């Protein structure tokens, strides 16, 4: 029996991908008409746009005045690897991972940089015990595990007087979660995530201690030009004023500015956080009384408010992976949720992006469809 009654309402915007994420509400390409296309990014008009992007990022995220903000190549990956390649190796390092992207940074440290790292991992759905981490070492971690739906709840476990650097991949947290700047030395993200911007560029935020590391330490390995942030032992300050290392897309910059201006119009970071919280809340309210679906995050304190990951728990399901894929396919075929399947390396299930550009009404409208798709698939298996 596959002809279960379909839910009455549909999400107006079915885009629930965890990256690139939904554009801001009512987005239109016309909003990019002020992009200085065909002009040099080093001309006054280009430099002004890049500097504005940095200033508005600082304003919306509440980045301290003495932290540097740079726009760098290679999206979030570029920003993380730039930090790892330029700063690690000076002191022992701890690598923390609870999903596939964090595992990627472990591979970088252990197999590529060949660092003698302490590696702490947790299974999908959990994070490591932060109380066990030695923050006098450099520590690399992901704030929100996009593929596992778990996040660091707060910065309490990180000592203010640590000797090591904390290098934090915050790409699916920035703009949707509070980041404790005094506990973080390097923060990275890409525009394609919570603000629904474009990929390709990364943002790299450095504390004064991270800058001190860059100026006082030269790694043993060679650095490609796109990783180099110092010259003659001094920080290249221009990078953090909009003089990018290589050519950025001014179209992507304009798109980011549009999203930042939208965020400011809403009321800035508190409003963005409230939107993500409401979206994730709508998913969790729905699953709360269901015995066939559950949060992948085991501890509600670590449950993500952006990439909410769900698993099917009905013992009647025969092939867990096939079932979850089929449910996602049904949702996609109905045009109610695009790209909502779990990440390829993650446990089978669904992943509903709940970041700040997503409308709560759309999340709420999707929920009955998940039940419909689950029941339809159960009947068909």
Least CB distance to ligand PLP at residue 19 (A):
4
Q: Which of residues 86-105 bind ligand PLP (CB under 6 A)?
A: 101
Q: Which helix (H) or strand (E) holds 242?
A: none
Q: Which is nearer to ligand PLP, 343 or 372 (CB)?
A: 343
Instruction: Please write down the HEC assignment for all residues of 302-326.
Output: HECCCEEEEEECCCCCCCHHHHHHH
Judged by CB under 6 A, which stretch of 65-73, 165-173, 206-214, 369-377 contacts ligand PLP?
165-173
Residue in 308, 378, 311, 303 with CA at minimum distance from that of residue 348: 311
Contact status: 20 vs ligand PLP (CB under 6 A): no
Q: Contacting ligand PLP (CB under 6 A), which of 13, 148, 171, 304?
A: 171
Cβ pair 276, 356 in contact under 8 A: yes
Contact status: 142 vs ligand PLP (CB under 6 A): yes
End-to-end distance of the chain based on CA atoms, in angstroms?
Answer: 10
Cβ pair 245, 72 in contact under 8 A: yes
Judged by CB under 6 A, which stretch of 2-10, 52-60, 73-81, 130-138 contacts ligand PLP?
73-81
Q: Which 3 state secondary structure label does DSSP give 119?
A: strand
Which token pair is 328? 């996602």
Q: Contacting ligand PLP (CB under 6 A), which of 76, 81, 94, 138?
A: 76
Contact status: 146 vs ligand PLP (CB under 6 A): yes
Q: Which 3 state secondary structure label does DSSP give 45?
A: helix
Q: Contacting ligand PLP (CB under 6 A), which of 190, 279, 305, 357?
A: 190
Least CB distance to ligand PLP at residue 84 (A):
12
Report in angstroms the alpha-carbon separations of 272 from 73, 138, 301, 306, 334.
Answer: 26, 30, 19, 11, 29
Contact status: 281 vs ligand PLP (CB under 6 A): no
Least CB distance to ligand PLP at residue 4 (A):
33
Contact status: 198 vs ligand PLP (CB under 6 A): no
Q: Which 3 state secondary structure label does DSSP give 103?
A: helix
Contact status: 295 vs ligand PLP (CB under 6 A): no
Least CB distance to ligand PLP at residue 190 (A):
3
Contact status: 376 vs ligand PLP (CB under 6 A): no
Residue in 118, 209, 84 with CA at minimum distance from that of residue 159: 209
Binding site for ligand PLP (CB under 6 A): 19, 75-77, 101, 142, 146, 169, 171-172, 190, 192, 199
């Amino acid at each position: 029996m596959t002809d279960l009654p379909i839910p009455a309402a549909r999400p107006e915007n079915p885009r629930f991908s965890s990256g690139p994420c939904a554009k801001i509400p009512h987005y239109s390409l016309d909003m990019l008409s002020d992009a200085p296309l065909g002009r040099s990014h080093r001309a006054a008009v280009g430099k002004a746009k890049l500097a504005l992007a940095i200033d508005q990022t600082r304003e919306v995220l509440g980045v301290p005045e003495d932290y540097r903000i740079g726009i760098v190549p290679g999206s979030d990956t570029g920003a993380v690897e730039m930090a790892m390649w330029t700063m690690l190796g000076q002191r022992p390092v701890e690598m923390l991972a609870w999903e596939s992207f964090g595992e990627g940074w472990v591979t970088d440290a252990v197999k590529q940089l060949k660092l003698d790292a302490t590696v702490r991992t947790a299974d999908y759905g959990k994070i490591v015990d932060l109380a066990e981490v030695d923050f006098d070492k450099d520590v690399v971690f992901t704030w929100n595990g996009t593929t596992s739906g778990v996040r660091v709840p707060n910065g309490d476990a990180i000592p203010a007087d640590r000797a090591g650097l904390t290098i934090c991949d915050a790409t699916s947290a920035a703009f949707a979660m509070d980041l404790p700047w005094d506990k973080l030395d390097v923060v990275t993200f890409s525009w394609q995530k919570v603000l629904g911007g474009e990929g390709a560029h990364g943002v790299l935020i450095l504390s004064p201690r991270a800058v001190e590391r860059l100026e006082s330490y030269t790694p043993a390995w060679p650095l490609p030009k796109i990783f180099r942030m110092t010259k003659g032992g001094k920080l290249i300050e221009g990078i953090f004023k909009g003089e990018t290392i290589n050519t950025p897309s001014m179209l992507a910059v304009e798109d980011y500015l549009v999203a930042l201006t939208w965020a400011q119009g809403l009321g800035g970071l508190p409003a963005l956080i409230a939107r993500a919280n409401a979206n994730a809340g709508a998913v969790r309210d729905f699953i709360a009384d269901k015995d066939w679906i559950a949060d992948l995050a085991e501890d509600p304190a670590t449950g993500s408010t952006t990439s909410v990951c769900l698993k099917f728990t009905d013992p009647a399901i025969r092939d867990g992976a096939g079932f979850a894929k089929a449910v996602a396919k049904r949702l996609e075929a109905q045009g109610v949720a695009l790209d909502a399947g779990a990440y390829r390396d993650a446990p089978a299930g669904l992943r509903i992006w709940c970041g700040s550009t997503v409308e709560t009404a759309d999340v709420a409208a999707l929920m009955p469809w998940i039940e419909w798709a689950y029941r339809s698939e159960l009947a068909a298996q």
